[in-house]
Structures are given as C-alpha cells and as structure tokens.
Amino acid sequence: MSSAALPKIAIVGAGLSGLALALALHRNGLTNITIYESRPATLDIGGAIMLSPNALKILDAIGAYSRLQPRSYAFDTLYFRKSDEAITLVDTFEFGSAEKYGYPALRVYRHELIDVLHELIREKDGISIEYGKKFSRVLSETKEQVTWAFADESQASASFLIGADGIHSQVRKYLHPDIEPRFTKGIGVTAAVPTAQLQLPSDFDTPVTLMNSKYGAFVIAKQLRDGSEVLIGKQRRFTEDLNKEGWADMLRNKQWCIDFLREGASEFPPLVANAVSNIPENKINLWPFYVVPKLDSWVSAVGKVVILGDAAHAIPPTAGQGVNQAFEDIYTFAGVMGALQRRSAAQDDADRSSIVLKRWQTGRQQRVDKILELNAMIDKRRLPGQDSITNEKDEFQLGWLYNLDFEQTIADWVA
C-alpha cells in the first residue's frame, strides 16, 4: 500500500466499533471510508457500558472523550460484597483512576456514545454511512480489491473490507465458514430504576455485586452523570439457544423478567427489595451470553478482508473488558493501516501489509489471552469461601492493562 493513492475502506457495521474505527482511520490520514449498516437508521439500543482508561485514552485520541464525559457517571472501583446483614466487603477491582491511569472509569449509555461518534463523523470529510445495506457474502478477492454482495444482491468493491459487525458477524463467515458463536447457557436480565428507590446508605459505593450462595449475584451500578439512576441485574442459567426472534419474544414477556429479578430478594439486604419494588417495563433488557472459539486468523489469506472486535473474539464480562478491547482492536488496526499508508512506495505493498497485519493479529490475540487469564483469576477469587480482601498485597496490579502505550506498540509491529 503506497502513499500514491488513498485506499477505499469499507466497514460493515455502524455500531460502536465501526463508527470508532472510521474516526481512527481518518485520524491516520485515511479519508475514503464507507460504513455499511443493515438497519435502516442509526442504532439507539442497549443499556449502559463501562469504559476503562485503556479505552478512554483511545476515545480521547479520536476526539470523543471530552464530549462523552459530561454524559457519563464517573467511578473508580468495582465492589464485591456478601449479601449478609453487614454487607461484608469480599473483594474490589480497580476499573479506573485519574491519578494512576489518567482517566476515571465511565459508565454511559451505549446510545450516548454512538451519538458522540456520529457528531464527530459529521464533522469529517471522507466518511459516509449507508443504511439498509445488509452484507451478504464476499464474491471475489484479489491483491487489488475485494468485491461483495448485499442481501438485496447489489454489489460494492473496496481496497479493504473490515468486519466490525459483532459476535454474529457475517463477514467472519468468509474467513471461517464453519465457526458459529457458542451460547454459554447464561443470560443477563437487567433493568434501570431511580437510585432514590433503593435508599442506599450514604457510604455505599457502586458498582457493586452482592453475592448470595443460593440466588447468585445481584448487581447494582449507578448511571447518568449525577448517578440518579441505577442498573440492577442478575444472571440466569438458560439451556435453550434461541434465534434472534426467539430472544426478542422472551424480552417481550416483561413479567418473567420482573419475577426473576424479584426472586429471592428477601435473602439479600433490604436495598435489593427496594430496588425491585417498582421496575418500569420499558427499562428492562435481556442479554444472552455468547462466545466465539479462538480463531487462527482475523485476516483473509489475500489480506483484503479483516475482522475485529466481537467478530474476532469474545471476552466474558468478568473483568468488563469486552467493549474496551474492541476499542483497542480498532485503534491499533487504524494505526497499522496509517503507518502502511505512509511507508515508502519502494517497498512491496502486499507482502509488507500481510506481515504487519499478522503481527497486529498476533499481538492483539496475546492481549486478549491475557484478559482471559485475568478473568480466571477474578472468578477464582470470588468463589464461595474465599476470605475478604484484607491488605494491599491482595490487590490486582493493572498498569499493564490500563497504561499500554498504543503508539509504541503500533510502531513495534510496523518496524
């Protein structure tokens, strides 16, 4: 890829990853970008997400942090407590710190971040979004371009096709036709209620997970900038893997969601009974948990089709790093693409691109594997019977996670 001509880049999916990827590519001098979205309009779905400093550093670099921060609830620590009378502290996990990592953690509604990313895209020349264009299949791929079809049988071509279309990715099927997401037999049921309804003690910090040996964990997390709303939620084992319409049917039955959230409330501290006393039906969400088997490649053999984010890997929610690692994918990929664009035209474009993209995937997979190790450590520490955290040596050391030098990492891959 030489500096003589800017490549045309197509992104499948106008969710968080697709929108942020377009901005990160634009920041690196790539200004011929089209995002294709199957839905007829911008996404306004889903509940709040938690963003840690590694992702916020990226959002700051693409101009989103200053606009997002006023819409978000800031916090530093996740708390894990027993559901006994004293609400005994069992464990803590640092999710952000302006002093140590440059940013506090933020909890923000997904649609708020999507709105911010759209605002930024409207201010850029060279990024367009086409709605109602559902990707179907790749038709051909050469060293010069990739051509694909949409569900309406129309076709398009680009220098690169990037699948940022989530865990049920259609682009992934081109690279791995036999790979399907695996349902973990777990679902999350959540709702949003006014914080005042819980009557929280004045010194009670969130996000907090209240652990009960019989009824599992009950999650409480403040949201909105002033913390005036909380997410409440529980996980349930569910053995049947439904299709998209099946999950939608389950969510339409709000009463079972309410009954499930209320189940066993008397076995938790009184604030849980308060939390579930009045649950607005329009504030209920249902999340089935899927994972993707580890893939041997995120890049096609020819090198013109790439998948990233949830399309390439699925990270269980234990350490809260799913969306944060997706942002790391997009930022480092954009940096690699920008560096390849700026390199000397005298070098062999195709071979150079293939080598560097392989380094990118290998480095990103190593990072994801380390997150999975962290998840396992957290799960082990929170098994029943573990002692409470009593001293500083028990704390996780998370500088490797939150203080990564992305620019140096990109430079090492491209070197």
pLDDT digits (tens, 9 = 90+) for 80-124: 999 999 999 988 999 999 999 999 999 999 999 999 999 999 999
* pLDDT score of 356: 94
Rounded distance, CA 183 to CA 180, Å?
A: 9
**Domain limits, the chain:** 9-72+102-181+293-414, 184-291
Mean pLDDT of 301-328: 93
Two tokens, residue 51: 């963003």
State the pLDDT at residue 343.
76
45, 111 contact by CB (below 8 A): yes
Q: What is the mean pLDDT of residues 271-276?
A: 98
Q: What number does CATH give the domain 184-291?
A: 3.30.9.30
The predicted pLDDT at position 394 comes to 52
pLDDT of residue 75: 97
Q: Tell me the backbone φ, ψ of residue 396, rounded to 5 degrees.
A: -70, 140
In the predicted structure, residue 321 carries a pLDDT above the cut 90: yes
**Any idea which fold 9-72+102-181+293-414 has?**
FAD/NAD(P)-binding domain (3.50.50)
- Asked whether residue 387 carries a pLDDT value surpassing 60, the answer given is no
Q: Is the pLDDT of residue 45 over 80?
A: no
pLDDT above 50 (res 3): no
Q: How far is CA 224 from CA 76, 87, 118, 228, 271, in A?
A: 15, 25, 20, 6, 20
d(CA 76, CA 62): 23
H/E stretch holding 137 reads strand 135-141
Could you read off the pLDDT of 322-345 as tens digits, one per residue?
Answer: 999 999 999 999 999 999 988 754
pTM of the model: 0.93
Q: What is the pLDDT of residue 386?
A: 52
What value does the mean pLDDT of the chain take? 91
Burial 190-216 (b: 16+ CB within 10 A, else e): bbbbebebbebeeeeebbbbbbbeebb
Among the listed residues 374, 68, 397, 157, the one whose alpha carbon sits nearest the alpha carbon of residue 148: 157
Element containing residue 186 per DSSP (H, E)? strand 182-194
pLDDT tens-digit map of 215-245: 989 999 999 999 999 999 999 889 888 888 8
